[in-house]
Amino acid sequence: MLALAFSAAMFGVDGYVVRVEADSSAGTPGFSIIGLPDRALGEAKDRVRAAIVNSGFPYPAGRLLINLSPADLRKEGPAFDLGIALALLAIDERVDRLALGEYVVLGELALDGSLRAVSGILPMVLAARAAGFTKLVVPRRNADEALLVEHLELYAVDSLIDAVAVICGHGGKWRAAASSPGPHVETSPQGDFADVRGQVAAKRAFEIAAAGGHNLLLVGPPGCGKTMLAQRLGSILPAMSRAEALDVTKIYSVAGLLGAGWGIVDRRPFRAPHHTITQVALAGGTRPGEISLAHHGVLFLDELPEFARSTIEVLRQPLEGGKVVIARAAGSFVYPASFMLVVAMNPCPCGFRGSRVHDCRCDDAIIAKYAGKLSGPLMDRIDMHVELAPIALDELIDLRPAESSKSIRTRVEAARERQRVRYRSSAISCNAAVPPNLARTYCALDETATALLRGASVRGHVSARAFDRIARVARTIADLAGDAAIQREHVAEAIGYRAIERLTSKVA
């Protein structure tokens, strides 16, 4: 006897529909699963057997075979449990075979037959809709996440018995709660730029970076406010569009960072991994890494030279292409990785090189090793470089309120709106994303601005890549000023944020 159910799986951050084919034949009782199952899926036969029996259904007799198609893609995780159980019950006609073929079913079974939530529901539901399915059965704890996909009949169930009732036509559709749930994870820290005393030049740099989506390097001694500033960047970034929010939610779903009862992630991510992170954890493997978890948000690397050089070098590809490609035996995974990179470092290992107050304890060999962690190509991909000085006592005790994030964000959103109008006929999201072949078109410089930039290039401050990046930053500065054309003063300020030699000379 043959029976067919449909489930779904993930490949990278994208889902695809899986045919769960069940066959029963005469012979010594046994249960086999084929179709490249992983270990967790290989153990499904024991979970499914116990769930069926403990739910009060007779277990099919004979030699049982489950085939998961397409058979050339590796299947991972326990999300197929429900599909396997229903296909086995369909063999003995405990559920209607024709009706079962209309549903995509997802969920992990406990031994008592109850259903547990699984990760990656959102991309799998999107794949089901793309394949033409309109009916889905999911664990109740995944219902709010699945409801983010429109135009589907969603059935949220608590157990195998409930799922059988749905297939037999006795289950009701799931309805959304009256109040919209918020994000499950705290994707960005709380804070306001009004909390930061002094550092006016650094705040200006953060405003420009937020307005154009530019990458930022902070260099300064311990305690000058580098981390504090970076943690408040999210408070001045524009809100995500629904499409961006769905992209982020899908990634967090695949990573298992969404919990029950929570819907769309509506706040831009802020990821700050520790410097002991590995290449795989940063770039990703069979699951998204920190680079992708920062998609449409901010990736903050504090104490950059403390990271292994081989680890931070994996940032090169995503900084240029907005995606990261991971090659594994199971195939090549492509993860989205369009993020703002903010990195911070001390001027030397002890942090006090050049200080007039503290003595630097680092000799030339230590400083050379410290600087050796930072490659020229990586530094060249960072649009803006900012030096921070220690905060003066007068600024610390000043009781006058500093400018709030709300005020800064108003200017940032106005600049982003000008960019949306400018790039409305293209796929460009912000000034930092302007490709090199269009930089001369969208970031055109007049003769005086070009002469200024040419002079900086002759002095060795500007590489070919940096030339375009300066033009993009200047375009953002002009947008903040409300100017249609890039002026000489905009280019001059942008050049001031590209003093790589001046900054790295302090750590070299």
Residue 2, CA distances (Å) to 64, 166, 211, 251 in order: 10, 21, 59, 36
Residue 358's pLDDT is 76
| Predicted confidence (pLDDT) per residue in 5-21, tens digit | 999 998 888 899 999 99
Mean pLDDT, rounded, for 140-155? 88
With cut-offs at 50, 70 and 90, classify the pLDDT of residue 183: very low
Angle at 44 between CA 41 and CA 48, to 5 degrees: 155
Mean pLDDT, rounded, for 180-209? 76
Burial pattern 96-132, b for ≥16 Cβ within 10 A else e, equals ebeebeebbbbbbbbeebbbebbbbbbbbbbbbbeee
Residue 172's pLDDT is 66
Residue 408's pLDDT is 95
DSSP 296-355: TSEEEESSGGGS-HHHHGGGHHHHHHSEEEEEETTEEEEEE---EEEEEE-SSSSS-TT-
Tokens of 420: 């949306």
Question: Do 90 and 132 form a contact (C-beta atoms < 8 A)?
Answer: no
Tokens of 14: 């994208």
Tokens of 281: 């954890």
Residue 205's pLDDT is 95
| Predicted confidence (pLDDT) per residue in 84-95, tens digit | 999 999 998 888
Q: How many Å apart are CA 446 and CA 448, to the nearest integer?
A: 6
Residue 506 has pLDDT above 50, yes or no: no
Backbone angles phi, psi at 381, to 5 degrees: -85, -5
**Could you give the residue ranges of the DSSP H alpha helices within 103-159?**
121-130, 143-146
Residue 1 has pLDDT above 80, yes or no: no
In the block, tokens 């070919």 appear at 464
Query: In 3D, which of 180, 169, 110, 111 has the Cα closest to residue 137?
Result: 169
Backbone angles phi, psi at 340, to 5 degrees: -90, 130
With cut-offs at 50, 70 and 90, classify the pLDDT of residue 62: confident
Mean model confidence pLDDT for the chain: 86
Query: In 3D, which of 328, 336, 337 has the Cα closest to residue 123?
Result: 336
Residue 260 has pLDDT above 60, yes or no: no
Residue 255's pLDDT is 87
Among 174-188, 227-241, 301-315, 361-375, where is mean pLDDT lowest? 174-188
Residue 181's pLDDT is 45
- Give the residue with greater pLDDT, 257 vs 8: 8
| Predicted confidence (pLDDT) per residue in 387-427, tens digit | 888 877 676 666 677 889 999 999 999 999 999 999 998 88
Question: Which of 104-118, 144-158, 358-372, 440-454 ranks highest by mean pLDDT?
Answer: 104-118
Mean pLDDT, rounded, for 281-286? 88
> In angstroms, how far apart are the furthest CA atoms of the chain?
88
Q: How many Å apart are CA 277 and CA 105, to the nearest integer?
A: 36
**Can you give 346-360 as a three-state secondary structure string?**
CCCCCCCCCCCCCCC
Query: In 3D, which of 338, 321, 373 has the Cα closest to residue 251?
Result: 338
Q: How many Å apart are CA 375 and CA 1, to the nearest integer?
A: 63
Residue 461's pLDDT is 56
Residue 184 has pLDDT above 80, yes or no: no
Mean pLDDT, rounded, for 302-309? 90
Share of the chain above pLDDT 90, in %: 45
DSSP E strand boundaries for 93-134: 103-105, 108-109, 115-116
Query: In 3D, which of 336, 345, 325 has the Cα closest to residue 275?
Result: 345
Mean pLDDT, rounded, for 200-224? 92
Residue 370 has pLDDT above 90, yes or no: no
- Residues in the chain, overall count: 508
Mean pLDDT, rounded, for 471-484? 93
Return the CATH class of domain 193-405+495-504: alpha beta
- Give the residue with greater pLDDT, 256 vs 294: 294
Residue 320's pLDDT is 86
Q: Where are the domains of the chain?
A: 2-167, 193-405+495-504
Residue 182, CA distances (Å) to 150, 177, 262, 263, 372 in order: 18, 12, 6, 6, 44
Q: How many Å apart are CA 375 and CA 386, to the nearest integer?
A: 18
Residue 283 has pLDDT above 50, yes or no: yes
Question: Which of 62-66, 187-191, 377-381 ranks highest by mean pLDDT?
Answer: 62-66
Q: How many Å apart are CA 409 and CA 415, to the nearest integer?
A: 10
In the block, tokens 């992983």 appear at 38
Angle at 84 between CA 79 and CA 90, to 5 degrees: 145
Q: How many Å apart are CA 70 and CA 424, to the nearest integer?
A: 39
Share of the chain above pLDDT 70, in %: 89
What is the reported pTM? 0.84
Q: How many Å apart are CA 64 and CA 33, to the nearest integer?
A: 9
Q: How many Å apart are CA 78 and CA 114, to the nearest integer?
A: 13
Element (H, E) at 254: helix 242-254
CATH code of the domain made up of 2-167? 3.30.230.10
Strands 323-328 vs 298-301: parallel, antiparallel or unpaired: unpaired
